[in-house]
Amino acid sequence: MPLDRQARIRQLLDEYISMYASRDDRLTTHFSENFSGYAGSSDDLIKDQGTWVQVTRHDFAQVKEPIRIEMVDTFLQDLSEDVVVATAFFHIHLPMAEDILSKEMARLVLIFRQEGNAWKIVHSGISIPYHKAGGDEVYPLASLQKRTDELELEVQERTRQLTESQTLYKLLTEDVLDVLWQADANLFITYVSPSDERLRGFKASEVVGHHVFEMFTEEGIALVRKLMAQKPVPGANSRAFVTFEVQHRCKDGRLLWAEVQSRREQDANGKLTGFHGITRETTQRRQMEDQVRQLAFYDPLTKLPNRRLLIDRLNQAIASSQRSGLYGAVMFLDLDNFKALNDAHGHAAGDLLLIEVAGRLSANVRAMDTVARLGGDEFVVMFREFDRDQGASRHQVGVIAEKIRAGLAKPYVLQVKDREGHESHVTHRCSASIGLAMFFGAQATQDEIFQHADAAMYLAKAAGRNRVRFHELEAGANPGQASAAG
């Protein structure tokens, strides 16, 4: 990552930490209108800016004095030109005498997106491994001191008992959120901590004696079998922990993701006697990773792939064409008369039309093809694997293009709301000018294919709009040469 880019992401994180620690209400102006996030004291996903602003201000009201953030580590990611991620690990020191929260490691994930000239926070997720706050608390201030006193007494008592009874181990596991488990050499469960009932809903009596595979999906079972079939590396520690992530089945039918750390148990002769390990739920982390991927590779309005994902798929299609000898094509299309809708009824109506266009395009292509939005009212369709014959391929894509052109020219009936929330139906006619460029193997680069399709699209506009034009890729063709579909 370039140093200036890294410094910019770090500056965004530092500004957030500074304002949050000083309880600065100006922080509320940094959240995007398209915001989502998880508060530290809740498992619920907050999906609107207004609610998050309320949560933030309630946080500031509950702890009015500045707090101290003891930073431990940071991780900066540059996902795209306008999307960056900053992850921070730190300790939170509240302005009070407490010895619980300040020892826990908090994790904060902030996703920033450039909106106009400003960087806005589109997602915030903070994970703090303490018990949930009561009532409407953001931090469990009312219970921290009580819990501190209880823990001090508990530690004293348990320290005394550690040398007296092995049953203390099972008692301790009841207070651990992660699931501790043990299995025999044939993968039948011999012990599972009470945390599994909180996590998956099964009592220990419903799990002990059952095979480990009953916990997993078919994909998870396949992964575990693959790991067990791997031969140990010579000289490697045979009792080292093996870490993998699989979906787990819950009693109510849900599936959740969890990370499993498993270790072999051996007798004095090195014979396998069983396994033991720790299972930690990772569902929220997976959801956050999916959200980050959505922001990096998909258009937030239409949910179509963006330019970055389109380029990746086109490069794959070019390589596939080189191997198979089948032609492909790229279609550029620009909506005619789109600006008139925005001018007459506002951008909300324009957004509704763009979403409808995305749906009509997706309904007229094959599963292997890609419909993408470049921005504004410009869309691209990438077609794969037509025919080995250029003429046959050209005919096939021409038929599809004409079908798309006709479909996009049909009237759009949009349900628009005004500022007072009143709904009205707007009928708008909007055609499309379409440019097509065939590709075959590596005869043209991705940039050249885009240029050819774009040039053909502008020739379709120049010919009167609502038309389809091909760009010719034969040897010696002029870059601006195009012909009508058919």
Which has more confidence, 479 or 359? 359
Q: What is the pLDDT of residues 252-285, one digit of tens each?
A: 999 999 999 999 998 888 899 999 999 999 888 8
Per-residue pLDDT tens digits for 22-32? 999 999 999 99
Mean pLDDT, range 400-404, rounded to an integer = 95
Residue 149: pLDDT band (50, 70, 90) is low
Distance CA(327)–CA(440), nearest Å, equals 5
Q: Please, which pLDDT band fits residue 164 given cuts at 50, 70 and 90? A: low
pLDDT of amino acid 144: 58
Mean pLDDT of the 318-339 span: 94
Instruction: Break the chain into its structural domains and give their ranges.
Output: 3-144, 166-283, 298-484
**pLDDT over 70 at 148, yes or no:** no
Cα distance from N-terminal residue to C-terminal residue, the chain: 48
So what's the pLDDT on residue 422?
81
pLDDT bracket for residue 480 (50, 70, 90): very low
Please state whether the predicted TM-score (pTM) of the whole model is above 0.75: no
Average pLDDT rounded to a whole number, residues 80-99: 85
In CATH, 298-484 is 3.40.50.300: no
Q: 166-283: same fold as 3-144? A: no
Assign a CATH topology to domain 3-144: Nuclear Transport Factor 2; Chain: A, (3.10.450)
pLDDT for the residue numbered 475? 37
Mean pLDDT of all residues in 103-122 = 90
Is 80 exceeded by the pLDDT of residue 290?
no
Cα–Cα distance, 150 to 356 (Å, whole number): 59
pLDDT of 170 over the 60 cut: no
| Average pLDDT value for residue range 45-63 | 88
**166-283: CATH topology:** Beta-Lactamase (3.30.450)
Ranges 192-196, 333-337, 472-476: which has the least confidence: 472-476
Q: Which of 227-241, 251-265, 368-382 is the least confident region?
A: 227-241
Mean pLDDT lowest among 96-105, 367-376, 435-444:
96-105
- Residue whose token pair is 């609610």: 51
pLDDT at 133: 55
